[in-house]
Amino acid sequence: MKRPRFFFYIAMIVVFNLIPLNVFAYSYGDPNKEAVAEAYKQMKEKLNEEPPNFAAAKEIFETVKEEIDMHMGPEPAQAVLKALEAKDRQAVTENMEKILVLNIARRLDNIEKNFDQYDTSKRLLAKAFATYEALSPIIQGKDAALDKQLRTEFDNALQSLGNPGLFGVGEKKSDINAFKKSKETILTTLQKQFGLKSLEVGHFSESATEKPDEVKKKEWTDLSNSKNWVPLIVIVAIIIGAGWIYVRRRKRI
């Protein structure tokens, strides 16, 4: 293999390993299984056993209690633990469902507050939708058309985020007013369906990101922003330039 071609292949390998797959995709992304929603589903399985396995349900709940306390204050978790101690299956389930609604609310709130952070907002919307998926069977059991409407609103919310595209290709402008409209429909409906007096969740992060430090470290790899291609272009140019200089010197020897 000729050396210039070798260096070109090396450069391409470097670039494609640095490009995240979501640059080429426009979907909900991977919700990575929302932890509290997964705990809710596992707890329901244990509580549906005969007799209900409250001990196992409590063990499962303990795995997400810290996260719930962090974002919602101590009251929601205390209500669940109280119901578990009282062996009140219905109260445990209803309190967990309310927690899931509050989780959806805080994520949609964070998206609105940081609407220009496309990648982060898209991930949070994916988590909100994953949470709704856990509640969907309940809504569907009562009103299938309402479940379909809410799913449509989640899709509308996704479309409202727009798409920064790549070098302007595939760019779609965001629409915060459209997002607010979908958010309002989703939260008003869920609040009514699950009997919450308020969607205030107490103390939780104002940031749109679940892990601020981690996101800051990875911001430069957000290739949906064209400015972040500059370092990659420089790297490729240096590799190709170094290869070209090497070949020229070899020919002179």
Q: What share of the chain is helix, strand, coil (3-state, %, to 5)?
A: 75, 0, 25
- pLDDT truncated to tens, each residue of the chain (253 aa)? 555 555 555 555 544 444 443 333 334 444 557 999 999 999 999 999 999 999 999 999 999 999 999 999 999 999 999 999 999 999 999 999 999 999 999 999 999 999 988 889 999 999 999 999 999 999 999 999 999 999 999 999 999 998 876 655 667 888 999 999 999 999 999 999 999 888 875 433 333 444 443 333 333 344 444 445 555 666 766 777 666 666 666 666 5
Q: Residue 216 has what pLDDT?
A: 37
Q: Residue 29 has what pLDDT?
A: 41
Single-letter amino acid, residue 225: N
36: three-class secondary structure by DSSP: helix
Q: Residue 221 has what pLDDT?
A: 40
Q: Which of 21, 32, 192, 198 is nearest to 125 (CA)?
A: 32
Q: Residue 16 has what pLDDT?
A: 45
pTM: 0.69
Q: Residue 250 has what pLDDT?
A: 64
- What is the chain's length? 253
Q: Which of 160, 156, 154, 155 is nearest to 187 (CA)?
A: 154
Q: Residue 248 has what pLDDT?
A: 66
